[in-house]
Structure 1
């Protein structure tokens, strides 16, 4: 493949050399939904960007619970148009093709973001197309593997803490599953904006959660949180009612008129009615792939105000094992697939 010359619209921009994309690429796909074993390597066509889309060479891909749910036949599997299908929302990589020469993300720019899966192919592949409004420049302080663990989880946390809870000085926020992918970002962001953070987690993660900014950590394996906390302003529930009635129990620790936010889809079907009966406000939440918000998150990461924790890194070919690890539960931070060389 011949090298493409670098072009930049900014004297200060640093671009990475890029090659013309091949016709086919390596990807991990599913031919049907099922157990992790349905994930397998295949050779598939490299996608073609249209209109304002970028073509990106994927260096690393984040693995999220919604990926595993979709693979198993839940999640967004109903929107998959056909098989074989490539999973994955999160990526970090290098722009190969931009819509036009003076585009803000010219070829060679290191970017990270969220793909429009399942409307397009996912990030478990060597190349992907992505809407320009869903990406930001990769934080300079992070490797591609670290950056790939950020987008979906951090944007979810941003939407929960900043846009929905409006975290501020003195506010009391309870965050369930604080050591998970979304949770560890939510704890940090709530602390950054001045809230008093209580997080539920296991004993092994207690010290780490305090380092991230939790003022109080409740070991859910030995204590019932409603026995030790009350009158909080906001509960961010990353568990729902499917595990030990966490959602229902959470409504009892919120002050009158406080806010309950539930994240896992279908995890607490009757939350709105239950919250109204308890005298509190309630909403669900789904992530918005906002490149502007992701750029802000990137600046916080580069400044050291927040951090991403990657617990395990798997090669692309081992995506099935990555899903197995994720579904075992108790993951601290994120799991990432290494797709290609940095």
Structure 2
């Protein structure tokens, strides 16, 4: 089978499309014929040799955590899916024609494989950081870097929970944030004052790692009311860096439920082939994403249902 791999840490150019042995499902796992794989910042952070404490790996290594595809192998003890089911979930080395998943859910009706591949990690992260930052119904949450995959999920989860959101993003994404229920403003010079004009901030999330931790502390008045998923220097300022995953199955179940009733939608901004994985990583690192980027492994992408 074809798989994206790297043998040394480095930039996008270290990625190679290679022939590899097919993986097989162990106990409590499933194998899927991958139709699409999600592109996440953790993918290129690992490729660069970052965050290895939370995600240890051995070189050479495959790439990718998220996938959507068709079950073709079921491990011992798995009873909730069978061969032929369409699923989305999280596992390892998902930039490949076949991948093993350790957490999954059935794809909701009406969802394409491309769309489904964009949900697992961002939903787990969004559910986790909303819990960690401790924001409650009726309070106001500031989301820095709100237009990407995690931001898109956070805004919609917050809306469902009755949390007011102020979101920062580039000028081109202001209407997108408003469509998701946020009070939007641009980042750049004067952004702190613009946020203050919108309203009082009770808690804040840093999703972009753009060097705004001090400002978020200033706006909330308390470093303990700020959580970052992108700035590794945040703990030096007393801010929690969230890098350890919570319950992926619970996040997938919540995603499936919200999608099924039309309360959650994360658009696919761009799709890439396996051979273009390096370009996907370069674009992801450049930021300014609206929604998700995905790798398409098998182009046939009929909607479920």
Greater radius of gyration (CA): 1
| Change in CA separation of 1:258 and 1:69 when aligned onto 2, cut-off 3 Å | closer
2:35 is aligned with 1:69:
no
Pair 1:220 & 2:187 matched: yes
Distance in 1 separating the partners of 2:75 and 2:15: 32
Q: Quote the Cα distance in structure 2 between the aligned partners of 1:256 and 1:43.
A: 51
- State the TM-score, normalizing by the size of structure 1: 0.81
Measure the CA separation in 1 of the matches of 2:35 and 2:163: 36
- Matching residue within 254, 262, 275 for 2:220: 254
Q: 1:226 & 1:284 partners in 2: Cα distance?
A: 25
Match of residue 17 from structure 1: none
**What displacement does 1:313 show?**
0.3
Distance in 1, matches of 2:101 and 2:79, equals 14
DSSP-derived class of the 1:79 partner? coil
**What is the aligned counterpart of 1:334 among 278, 292, 301?**
292
Shift of 1:219: 0.8
Secondary structure at the aligned position of 1:232 is classed as coil
SS in 1 for 2:109: coil
2: CA distance, partners of 1:100 / 1:70: 30
When residues 265 and 53 of structure 1 are mapped into structure 2, their CA distance, relative to the original with a 3 A threshold, is farther
Q: Which residue of 1 aligns with 2:241?
A: 284
SS in 2 for 1:331: coil
Structure-2 residue corresponding to 1:322: 280
Residue number in structure 2 paired with 1:232: 201
The aligned residue for residue 12 of structure 1 is none
Q: State the SS of the aligned residue for 1:253.
A: helix
Question: Which position in structure 2 is the counterpart of 1:104?
Answer: 80
Higher normalized contact order (CA 8 Å, seq sep 6+, divided by chain length): 2
Evaluate the alpha carbon distance shift between residue 189 and residue 290 of structure 1 in structure 2; reply closer, same or farther with a 3 A threshold. Answer: same
Q: Distance in 2 between matches of 1:293 and 1:71?
A: 25
TM-score by length of 2: 0.90
Secondary structure, counterpart of 1:66 in structure 2: helix
**Per-residue CA distance 1:31-78 (angstroms, 9 max, x = gap):** 212221111211100012221111111110000111111112223398
Q: Write out aligned runs for 1:1-342 (5 A).
A: 25-76=1-52, 79-83=56-60, 85-100=61-76, 103-115=79-91, 117=92, 122-131=93-102, 134-161=103-130, 163-165=131-133, 167-214=135-182, 216-226=183-193, 228-229=195-196, 231-240=200-209, 243=210, 245-255=211-221, 259-264=225-230, 266-272=232-238, 282-286=239-243, 287-340=245-298, 341-342=300-301
**Unaligned ranges ≥5, structure 2:** none
The range that moved more, 29-38 or 175-184, is 29-38
* Offset from partner CA, 1:219-243 (integer Å, 9 cap, x none): 1134322454264211111134xx3
Deviation at 1:289, TM superposition (A): 4.8
8 Å Cα contact 1:172-1:232 kept in structure 2: yes
Q: SS of the residue aligned with 1:184?
A: helix
Aligned equivalents of 1:302, 1:108: Cα separation in 2:
20
What's the RMSD between the two structures over aligned residues? 2.1
Give the distance between the partners of 1:205 and 1:97, measured in 2 at CA: 41
Counterpart secondary structure, 2:142:
strand
Aligned length: 296
Distance across 1 between alignment mates of 2:42 and 2:23:
23
- Unpaired segments of 5 or more residues in structure 1? 1-24, 273-281
Native 8 Å contact 1:316 1:339 kept in 2: yes
Counterpart Cα distance in 2 of 1:332 and 1:100 = 39
Q: Deviations along 1:191-245, whole A, 9 cap, x unmatched?
A: 121111100111111011000110x2121134322454264211111134xx3x4
